[in-house]
Amino acid sequence: MKKIPFVWAALGLALLPWRSAQAATGPGEALFVTHCAPCHGRDGRLGRNGAHNLTQSNLTAFGRSYLVQNGLGKMPAFKKQLSPLAIEQVVQYSLTLK
């Protein structure tokens, strides 16, 4: 019986690096995967439906925020689906794509 708590503790310690990596990327990555990756891809390079390669974009955070909120061309507007905070998180995550 004493081995069971040890096993759970060992498993918890083994998962710490995974949880830390998840926390480091934050909610912006999860939002990006849900709302943006279907066209832009997880790495920002997919280009489905005419989506731009985000790794080559020269848009600032302000420009990206405007596009996420209002859309342009085939890109839909997300201001009704995402809160201002969520949009900021997605934009900040998109800026990390290289």
Please check whether residue 17 lies inside any domain of the structure.
no
Q: What is the pTM of this model?
A: 0.74
Output the domain CATH number for residue 78: 1.10.760.10
Please check whether residue 19 lies inside any domain of the structure.
no
Please check whether residue 12 lies inside any domain of the structure.
no
Please check whether residue 2 lies inside any domain of the structure.
no
Between CA 96 and CA 98 the distance in angstroms is: 6
Between CA 51 and CA 40 the distance in angstroms is: 6
Between CA 76 and CA 45 the distance in angstroms is: 18
Number of domains the chain is built from: 1
Please check whether residue 80 lies inside any domain of the structure.
yes
Q: Kindly give the confidence (pLDDT) of every residue in the chain, 98 residues in length, as a single tens digit, with 9 standing for 90 and above.
A: 455 454 444 444 444 444 444 445 699 999 999 999 999 999 999 999 999 999 999 999 999 999 999 999 999 999 999 999 999 999 999 999 99
Please check whether residue 65 lies inside any domain of the structure.
yes
For residue 56, the enclosing domain spans 26-94
